[in-house]
Structure formats: structure tokens, C-alpha cells
Amino acid sequence: MSELITELPILPNYINGQWCDSAATEFVHVVNPATGDRLAKVPLSPASEVDRAAQVAQEAFQSWRRTPAPQRIQYLFKLKNLMEEQFEELSRTITIECGKTLDESRGELRRAIENVETACGIPMMMQGTNFEDIASGIDEFMFRQPLGVAAVIAPFNFPGMIPFWFLPYAIACGNTYIVKPSEKVPLTMQKVFFLIDQLGLPPGVVNLVNGAKEAVDAILDHPLIRAISFVGSSGVARYVYSRATANGKRVQCQGGAKNPIIVLPDADMDMTTRITADSAFGCAGQRCLAASIAITIGEARRTYTESIAAAAESRIVGNGLDKGVQMGPVISTESRQRIEQLIGQGEAEGAKMVIDGRSPQISGYEQGNFVRPTILQDVNPNSTIAKTEIFGPVLSLIHVETIDDAIQLVNRGQYGNMACLFTNSGAAARKFRYEAEAGNIGINIGVAAPMAFFPFSGWKESFFGDLHGQGQHAIEFFTQTKVVVERWFKDWSRQF
Ligand code: NAD
């Protein structure tokens, strides 16, 4: 076994336009969560490698910011084309290291590419404003200028998409960039950087540093790094936000979630079931926009419980690469154990088990980290399972009498990433949209993920900062405004 481990490839970093071996002395295994196979070793890069990446990125910034925006986006057009060419290969890589089904990986990658496409609009999106004769003979302009070096610290659940909520906008605006992928799923970014390497970008514009806490802390403290985007759990998000802002950086941190959906009795139950089953169990529940609590009203208690239980039971669980599989494993053994422990705690705190997905036997994948879809009923809103982010395929059902009770329950939650309503009533939908305390709202939508040209909002404990990722918010995050007030003493018409 130890022989096998030493044969595993050690993933390089990509700094200053070159692949380079890390000087790390500690490594983590990258594991296929469906099979338990070890795929590679990822170095836990020391702070010195973040420093090197920041130094070269700072150097590259001097000329990159002077490269006209229409020229900068030519690299993004090329990147889009390369990603399209490698679409299937990249999707397979996401599935192999992250566990989701191939279709889910394709969907993730499509979202990544949409962000590249949107950032190609930077010559329009980055425009400032101007005002002639703000006073007699005086004009005023507002320009947007890039900040310098920026970095992203990414989570495990969307290895292909999440760096792309930030990277294309950052470089299109004239910044230079460092990507720190999750140490659990570093392979997809390795492949993306093979494509980035083919773009002919000036060295140092985009850099890749693998690692974990030491690399993150080095990013948070580095004096040359001006802006940091983080996506991950709320505890780490809070830590990253406070340490990096204390160091004077511009920071946006997207945190965890506990997303509620409300099902009214007038909802189209077939459609609602299909959509919400995908929300709760798709990506094995490891989406920050996964439905985690379903609040039923009136007759929906019976009808929805029956239909969602049937949908959960019939979901085909297995290796995401296999045809017909609808749900893959969770990311790690620790994660599976944590999810199963929380399910047990839910039962111990009084919830009724509708479908118990613990310890399934998936033939041929005995080493995989599988949890089948799980549903608990009559969950006490104050219980652990109703309040804790589970990040697994577990749906808690809670019944209330009125839509006001339901919205109150939604708004009691500590997180505010997403809330959804299923109904045929426009009036109910409007009330919900208006009153629900969450940054992403779905009406008859189960995963209310904003398109690339909208900001990925998130409220309360789901977000620390001000400007969100994607769209126009990204432009504001990756630029600083400069206002120029201008007067010319001579009358131009008399000069010639
Ligand atoms: P995580 O917080 O464990 O890790 C995220 C990143 O932080 C990784 O790159 C990791 O190396 C680093 N990190 C972890 N612990 C650290 C520490 N103590 N100090 C410094 N750095 C540290 O998150 P995860 O398990 O990879 O991802 C799942 C979480 O991400 C869930 O909570 C999920 O809701 C959240 N998420 C949120 C969004 C969103 O848009 N709000 C999107 C995707 C995932």
C-alpha cells in the first residue's frame, strides 16, 4: 500500500506562468469519494509559495492593468473555447474527485463558462460615469481602476464553478490573481490551469497555489494582496472576514446555509416534488442552495410527504460516472459519519423517520461514502437537525398552519442563503418574495442560483461583506473608483 502511495502524482502549483513543484513537507490525499481510490497527493504549500505568487502577480499587474480591456478579454474568449473543447474531460474530473453525477458536473461547468462569457462584457460593465459642466467650464468623471493582486479561497462542492464566480471578472478588470482550491478537490483546477497555460497570458497574471490553512493564512496576511473572495463554511468565512479586513483588505465571504422551502396546498405537487427532490438530494445535498427544510401547510402535509418520500426512495444512488445514477456519494468518510450522526440526533430529539438513508450498500462501491436520501418528519424547529447545516441528502419536514407561520419560521433561521415557495397563488408568491429574509429567492424553483449576470446574494450568516460574487457586483468588488474634477483655463475655441 505504501508503495502505491509513493507512486501517486504530487500536484504542482502554477506560478509566474510555470508549473512548479511545491516545497511542502505535508500532503493530503485526493480521494475519489465513490470508490475510495486515492488519486493524487496535494501539497499543503507553505506561506513562502503564497508570497512568491503574490510577488509575481504584483509585478505582472503593472503592465496587465495597462493592457486595454478589449485586449484583456481576448484571453477570456480563448479560455471559453478551450473549456468548451475540454467540456467532457473537465466534467469527468469534477465527478471523479467530487462525486456528483456527470450531468451535475456538466451543469456546474456550464455555469463556470457563463461567468467567463459575462466577464467578456467588461468594456461595457467597467465604464464609469461623467458629467459635463458640473459647474461652469468644469467637468467631472468617475473612472474604475483595478485594485492589484486578488485571490480566491474555494470550497470542495463546486471545484469547477466557484473560482469562476470571481477569476474572469478580476482579470478582465485588470487585476492579477491567485487561486487556492479546496485541498479535497484540487484536480479540476489543475486541468483548468492546463488550459490557462495555453492562453499566452503574460506570466504572473493568474497563479495557482494548492494548500490549506497555512496557505489561507498567508493570503489573509499578505500585504500585496488587496482583495479576497472566500466561499466555504460560515465558521471559516467569519474567521477569514475578520482577519483579512483587520489587515485592511477588501473581502467578500460566502458562508454556509440551511435553506427552507415552503409548500402550499395549491402547489402543483408533481412538479414541486420533482424540483424539490432535486434540490434536497441533488449533488448529495452538498449545495449551498440545497433545500434542507420543507415547511408544509394544510393538505400539503399529507400529499407532499407521500410524494417526496416516494421520490427519495426511488432515487438511484451510485458512482456519478455510471449511467442512470441520480445521486453520488458525499465528499468524505468524515462527512458521511457526521451526516449519519446528525440524522440519529434528529431522531433522538423527537423527529419521526420517514426514509432512513444511513449505511446503504451500493454494490461494487463498498468503499464509497454513500448516504441515501433521508427524510425526517415532525421535526422540532428548535432541534439540532433543524438548525445545523447538514450538507448531505437529508430533508426535514415541519408542518405549520399558515403562510405567516411559515415565513416567520423561515426568518428565524440564522442563515439567509435561499428560501423558496411552491404555490399557484400570485398573492402568496408576492408576499413571500417581499417578506422572506434570504438573498436568493425561488418561486416554484428549487435551486434559486442566479445567472452569471446577477450577483450571488446571501444574507445573515451566509455572507460576510458587502459586494457579492458575479455580475455587476464583481465589477464593483474588483475595481476602485477614481473621481476627477477637471477645468481648463483657456477657451479651446480660441487656441487655434
Ligand atoms: P470549508 O470552510 O471547510 O473550506 C473552505 C476553504 O477554506 C478551503 O479552501 C479550505 O482549505 C479553507 N479552510 C478550511 N478551514 C480553514 C481554517 N481553519 N483556516 C483557514 N482556512 C481554512 O468549506 P467546505 O467544506 O470546503 O465547503 C462546504 C461549505 O461551503 C458549506 O458550508 C457550504 O454551505 C459552503 N458553500 C457556500 C456557498 C455560498 O455561495 N454561500 C457556496 C458553496 C459552498
Atom number, ligand 1, closest to the C-alpha of residue 255: 41
What distance in angstroms lies between residue 233's CA and the mean position of ligand 1's atoms?
4
Ordered per-residue pLDDT tens for the chain, 496 residues: 334 445 899 999 999 999 999 999 999 999 999 999 999 999 999 999 999 999 999 999 999 999 999 999 999 999 999 999 999 999 999 999 999 999 999 999 999 999 999 999 999 999 999 999 999 999 999 999 999 999 999 999 999 999 999 999 999 999 999 999 999 999 999 999 999 999 999 999 999 999 999 999 999 999 999 999 999 999 999 999 999 999 999 999 999 999 999 999 999 999 999 999 999 999 999 999 999 999 999 999 999 999 999 999 999 999 999 999 999 999 999 999 999 999 999 999 999 999 999 999 999 999 999 999 999 999 999 999 999 999 999 999 999 999 999 999 999 999 999 999 999 999 999 999 999 999 999 999 999 999 999 999 999 999 999 999 998 999 999 999 999 999 987 666 655 5
**DSSP assignment string, 323-368:** TT--B---S-HHHHHHHHHHHHHHHHTTPEEEE--SS---TT-TTS
DSSP H stretches of helix in 15-138: 47-64, 69-85, 87-98, 102-119, 122-125
For ligand 1, whether the C-beta of 457 sits within 6 Å is: no
Residue of 42, 182, 289 with the most ligand 1 atoms within 8 Å of its CB, for mutation? 182
What distance in angstroms lies between residue 198's CA and the mean position of ligand 1's atoms?
30
What distance in angstroms lies between residue 240's CA and the mean position of ligand 1's atoms?
10
Among the options 120, 173, 283, 288, which is catalytic? 288
Under the phi-then-psi rule, with left for phi > 0, alpha for psi from -120 to 50, and beta for the rest, what region is 66?
Answer: alpha
How far apart are the C-alpha atoms of 462 and 254, rounded to whole Å? 6
For ligand 1, whether the C-beta of 216 sits within 6 Å is: yes
Quickly tell me which residue has 440524522 as its cell.
Answer: 343
How far apart are the C-alpha atoms of 72 and 53, rounded to whole Å? 20
For ligand 1, whether the C-beta of 292 sits within 6 Å is: no
The amino acid that residue 290 corresponds to is A
Asked whether 317 and 370 are in contact (CB, 8 A), the reply is: yes
For ligand 1, whether the C-beta of 212 sits within 6 Å is: yes
Atom number, ligand 1, closest to the C-alpha of residue 183: 11
How far apart are the C-alpha atoms of 148 and 204, rounded to whole Å? 12
Atom number, ligand 1, closest to the C-alpha of residue 463: 41
Active site residue 288: yes
Atom number, ligand 1, closest to the C-alpha of residue 417: 41
Residue of 25, 79, 331, 339 whose CA lies nearest to 185: 331
For ligand 1, whether the C-beta of 91 sits within 6 Å is: no
What distance in angstroms lies between residue 232's CA and the mean position of ligand 1's atoms?
2
Task: Name every residue whose Cβ is closer than 8 Å to that of residue 469 and which is 6 or more positions away in sequence.
Answer: 165, 166, 229, 231, 252, 254, 455, 456, 477
pTM of the model: 0.97
What distance in angstroms lies between residue 215's CA and the mean position of ligand 1's atoms?
14
